[in-house]
Each structure stands twice: as C-alpha cells, then as structure tokens.
Amino acid sequence: MRREIPFSKLSGAGNDFIIMDNRDRSITLEASAIRALCTRRTGIGADGLILIEPSETASFSMLYHNADGLPGTMCGNGGRCAVWFARSIGVQPDAGGCFRFEANGDPYQAWVSGPETVRLRMREPRGIRDEIDLGGQYCAFIDTGSPHAVIRTEGLDAVDVVGEGRAIRHRTDIFPGGTNVNFIEVTATDSIDLRTFERGVEDETLACGTGAVAAALLSRRLGMTSADSIRVRVKSGDMLNVTFSEDMREVYLTGPAVIVYTGVVKAG
C-alpha cells in the first residue's frame, strides 16, 4: 500500500539524491517505485535514492540505488550527502567528529569539514589498468568503490559525453559489469576538469564522487598531474577535492553536501 514517506533531496556538487530515514526498516520500495521517484518531470527527480538503515558495526548503513531503481556500487557524493542528512536527523559523530557508516559491506569514515561540506575517506582503490585499447581510443581503469574508465581529452566542452560514454559503458567485453566513464582535461599540475557518464543513471550527471577520485588518482599515476591534492571541477561548476597518500591507499573526497528541500511523497 502506498504510504506517506518523508524525504530530503540533497545535492553533492550537483549529483542529486533522494534520501530517506529507514532506521526502523519500515520503508520497502520496489525498483519500479525508486525509478519513478528518480524520474525528472514526473517524479521528484534524482541521480539516485539512498536509504539510511540500521547497522550493527557503525552509526548507520547507506543503501544506495541508482536512478534506474537498482542497487548501485559505492557512491562518493551519495556517501557525503548521506552523512549530511544523517546529521540532520540527529545522528551524532564520535568524540573526534567522525561519522562511521557502512556501504556495500565496506566501512567508511567522514567528517563535516566546513559549512555544508563533508570529507569522506574512500575505500582503497582496486583493479588499476593503465592502458586499455578501446579500438583506436585509449582509457585507464580503476575501481574506487565503483568502476571507472578515465579518458584524457583536450577540449572537454566539445566531447560527446553521452554518445561516447554510453558506447564505452556497454563494452562488457572489457568491463564485465559495465563501467562509469569519465572524460578529463588537465588544467594545471593540481587540477582537472571532469565530465562523467554514469552507469545506472545512463546519462551524463553534474558530478560524480567516485569518478572524481578515479580521475584524480589516475591523472597523478599517469603523470598528468603532480600534486597529492587535486582540485576537480565537475560539470555543475562545483569543485571536489581529492587528497591521497603517496601509495594511494589513503584517499579523501571533500566537497559540498546541501539539503535542497524536504518533503513527503506517497510511495511504496
């Protein structure tokens, strides 16, 4: 039966999410209902829907769904927004100001590092491949919690992110589970511009957190940048910051997390 469910709509640098408090596990949403809620114009409209659920090992568990209604892999901006939302519903950090949560079975830590700003420690990256031949075009790959192909361009504004991104996203001969696809332009030794085609949204989004981390780490690894703190300007114009240790095992993603509005929706 459809019931009234309170939600908040948050923006993490333009990557937008519907977030619901499900700590009492009273919300059950079918994939079709999540897809309808995330559909722009006829629904609330969002890149994903997040349920804040109870956890035995942390303050909460983040259950992330892409806009297609299916459970996604890690969402960096979603994780930052989940922390900002959790704080708004009374979840407290530990004495050191650290919020601990779990997502996809991995533990995460985050801190409020400024007004409407959240810093998230990411999982260690995996599966790095420096050069993949896509057939005349080359990309690199890294799993930063979600799978990401990264392609260097010059003239990022002119790239057909949707057309090229969609084609690469479906290269399951190379990326068996599909992949998110990032196009970058290096603008300085410590900054890049980024545009992302997101798997599960099946479109270009205004920002992608795990994509920003992927782009920053690979840009440094492949010698396009030389700093251990990279400024990543995303499609919305917002900045994400990616900071990492020399061995790239300790990685932080920092950026805006804003409650755009709150409301009640009939769903379920």
Ligand X SMILES: N[C@@H](CCC[C@H](N)C(=O)O)C(=O)O
Which residues are part of a known binding site for substrate? 15, 66, 76-77, 180, 198-199, 209-210
Q: 9 or 199, CB closer to ligand X?
A: 199
Smallest distance from the beta carbon of 127 to ligand X, in angstroms?
14
Q: Enumerate residues 102-141 that contact ligand X by CB under 6 A.
A: none
Q: Is 208 a catalytic residue?
A: yes
Q: Does residue 72 touch ligand X according to CB under 6 A?
A: yes
Q: 43 or 145, CB closer to ligand X?
A: 145
CA angle 102, 67, 79 (to 5 degrees): 25
Instruction: For residue 71, give the DSSP letter.
Output: B
Which of 38, 75, 81, 139 is the catalytic position? Answer: 75
Residue type, 173: D
Q: Does residue 77 touch ligand X according to CB under 6 A?
A: yes
Instruction: Figure out which of the listed residues 11, 22, 59, 180 binds ligand X, where binding follows CB under 6 A.
Output: 180
Instruction: Figure out which of the listed residues 11, 22, 59, 66 binds ligand X, where binding follows CB under 6 A.
Output: 66
Q: Does residue 231 touch ligand X according to CB under 6 A?
A: no
Q: Does residue 49 touch ligand X according to CB under 6 A?
A: no
Measured over the CA atoms of residue 155, residue 125, residue 166 and residue 69, the dihedral's sign is: negative
Which among 23, 211, 16, 34 is positioned nearest to 125, based on CA atoms? 211
DSSP class per residue in 108-142: EEEEEEETTEEEEEEPPPEEEEEEEE-SS-EEEEE
Those residues whose C-beta lies under 8 Å from the C-beta of residue 185, and which sit 6 or more positions away, are 152, 153, 154, 155, 156, 192, 193
Catalogue the active-site residues. Answer: 75, 208
Summarize as ranges the residues that interact with ligand X (CB under 6 A). Answer: 15, 66, 72-73, 75-78, 146, 180, 198-200, 208-210
